[in-house]
Amino acid sequence: MKKQFSFIMVLMISAMILLAGCGKGSDTSSGASESDTFKVGLEAGYAPFNWTQNDDSNGGVKIDGTSEYAGGYDVEIAKKIADGLGKKLVIVKTEWDGLVPALTSGKIDAIIAGMSPTAERKETIDFSDNYYKSNLVMVVKKGGEFEGATSIQDFNGAKVTAQLNTFHYTVIDQIEGVEKATAMDNFPAMRVALESGMIDGYVSERPEAVSASAANENFAMVEFTEGFETSEDDTAIAVGLKKDSDLTKKINEILQGISEEDRTSIMDEAIKNQPAAE
């Protein structure tokens, strides 16, 4: 009986040690899994920089916590950065106004969302080197009175808007006599407003305007010979990162390895592959 009891005790103690070891291993594995991810925040609603789609076609990446996928120029750049970091890319769909808070709170590791490294934003977060640069244009109704505009001043008296909390909205003030409409949350909303006649045009970067006119035959893109006055930071696009992030130097090295030719090719593909609904 004593031998049997001792044997049982040995088995129980061995089992407890084994379970404790498994628990410890599980925690370590979980931590490693977290450190092996590169969590990127974007709207998934700003084609051709980023959009939402139903499957993984054309290189779409699953949006965390949903059955949807994200595609676009930003997603392709994010994939290259994740590969260069040796991490798994995780896309976190986030409203524009929530991107910086998500970054500073640690919910995401980076913002790759067509975001310009403006002086105001630099007060809160850091930015990588630029990964795209684009000019400002206007999206209007095709055949309308503003399609032939060559100067921003041709929009005197027009109802014009732009996305909320972007420098696009502030440059509208450079148009004399403009009727500055309420800023809107996203580009799909502005396209609906333009289609319905609520506005005469909205300010955008050239890639989005190309997308809008390609997706809707009633839209046209206006490029100016006398355009908006902007700084280089305003028209550039960069990766948003936490202040003093260890990732900044590594990401800059990765971006340096993407040639201008490759960047143009990636954008051309994004414009071609964007969902028609965008």
Spatial strand order of the sheet with 236-241 comes to: 88-93, 37-42, 110-111, 236-241, 126-133
Displacement of CA 48 from its chain's centroid (Å): 10
Domain annotation for the chain: domains and CATH numbers: 36-133+236-273 (3.40.190.10), 136-222 (3.40.190.10)
Q: Provide the pLDDT for residue 215.
A: 86
Q: Provide the pLDDT for residue 22.
A: 47
Residue type, 53: Q
Specify whether the CB–CB gap between 48 and 274 falls below 8 A. yes
Q: Rounded to two decimals, what is the model's pTM? A: 0.72
Q: Provide the pLDDT for residue 234.
A: 85
Helix 73-85 and helix 247-256: axis angle, to 10°? 110
Specify whether the CB–CB gap between 161 and 172 falls below 8 A. yes
Give me the average pLDDT of each 10-residue run along the chain (278 residues). 48 49 39 78 94 96 98 98 98 97 98 94 97 94 97 98 94 98 95 97 93 92 95 91 97 96 92 74
* DSSP label at residue 46: B
Tell me: the pLDDT tens digits for 223-269? 999 999 998 888 899 999 999 999 999 999 999 999 989 998 999 89
Tell me: the pLDDT tens digits for 34-66? 689 999 999 999 989 999 999 999 999 999 999
Handedness of CA 222, 228, 231, 234 (dihedral sign): negative
Q: Provide the pLDDT for residue 3.
A: 45
Gyration radius from the chain CA atoms: 24
Q: Provide the pLDDT for residue 39.
A: 98
Q: Provide the pLDDT for residue 277.
A: 45
Q: Provide the pLDDT for residue 33.
A: 59
